[in-house]
Amino acid sequence: MSRVLGIGNALVDILTPIQDDAILVQLNLPKGSMQLVDDIIADCVMNATQHITRHLASGGSAANTIHALSCLGIQTGYVGKIGNDETGKFFQADMEKNGITPKLLISTSPSGRAIALISPDSERTFATFLGAAVELSADDLTQDLFEGYTYFHIEGYLVQNRALIRKALEMAKANNLIVSLDLASYNVVEANLDFLKEMVAKYVDILFANEEEAKAFTGQTDEAAMPILSELCETVVLKLGKRGSIIKHKNETVTVGIIPVNHIDTTGAGDLYAAGFIYGLINKLTIEKCGQIGALVSGNVIEVLGPKMDADRWENIRAEIEKIKK
């Protein structure tokens, strides 16, 4: 069975349901975006929401994907950097508890945290303090990290360190890994467009994007973005929210719908779609079935707060996947 290695910003998600979007305006956080903030602003967001009950979960886009793959029975590893503090210890313990091989470097800086403000319509807005996570550097990467893996999943949020993302992609391809990239956020794409286009064209085999990210990347919406994206990459997955997804692999294009869900929180939905899709590829399923498993896993996580689901829900998901496989 193929093994999957992920790399990303090792963050602890602080999940915070808000009553309305007025607080986003107050904090100058564009709804639905991921804003990088310093520790001072992160503390301001925490203080402004201190009256709200919060939930903690190990997070970061790639970490969410790797966690879900582990829950689906795939052997996984994760590369990141944490601080020598309680937040970092929580992150590592959560990885180990879920069967992920943590390849974590330790910094003297505080661990990163992503404050997720969840609107009543389930949209999430992130104020992210990267902390130690941003200190992961190209010099930290060694060949042995990539040995024994078949797939390499990377999050677009790492693009703030271009030397790191370039070296990671180069080393993954040098070790013959199949590379998947999640574009992560439309504002990240807008700020790094030329670099991301170069990386996708040179190194990426599977590209995940939602409609806003695809528009930022191509200037086109929905189906019109697909020809541009597929010129750069063999497999493109365009996630369209409630309208499902479009997948193009070589000369084949399929459309996949969604499952009926009770929307609670979209945190991690795209990350878990990627996990379901990669799981399907590992099991040599058709592109359509890969998309159906992605939709199944992402649909389930929307019904819970945060990117993690309990054992009973995962058991039900695995049972449904077996039906899709037939």
Question: Which three-class secondary structure string do you get for 2-29?
Answer: CCEEEECCCEEEEEEECCCCHHHHHCCC
Over the stretch 110-158, which tens digit does the pLDDT of each residue have?
999 999 999 999 888 999 999 999 999 999 999 999 999 999 999 998 9
**Beta strands 235-239 and 245-249, pairing class:** antiparallel
Band the pLDDT of 263: cuts 50, 70, 90: confident
- Asked whether the predicted pLDDT for residue 70 surpasses 90, the reply is yes
- Asked whether the predicted pLDDT for residue 222 surpasses 90, the reply is no
- Asked whether the predicted pLDDT for residue 323 surpasses 90, the reply is yes
Q: What is the mean pLDDT of residues 220-235?
A: 93
Residue 273: the pLDDT is: 98
Distance, CA of 225 to CA of 290 (rounded, Å): 21
Over the stretch 154-177, which tens digit does the pLDDT of each residue have?
999 899 899 999 999 999 999 999
Residue 189: the pLDDT is: 94
- Asked whether the predicted pLDDT for residue 239 surpasses 90, the reply is yes
- 56, 90, 97 from 168: Cα distances, Å: 29, 26, 26
Domain with residues 4-10+60-111+130-325, CATH architecture: 3-Layer(aba) Sandwich (3.40)
Q: What is the mean pLDDT of residues 78-83?
A: 97
Band the pLDDT of 306: cuts 50, 70, 90: confident
Residue 31: the pLDDT is: 93
Residue 170: the pLDDT is: 97
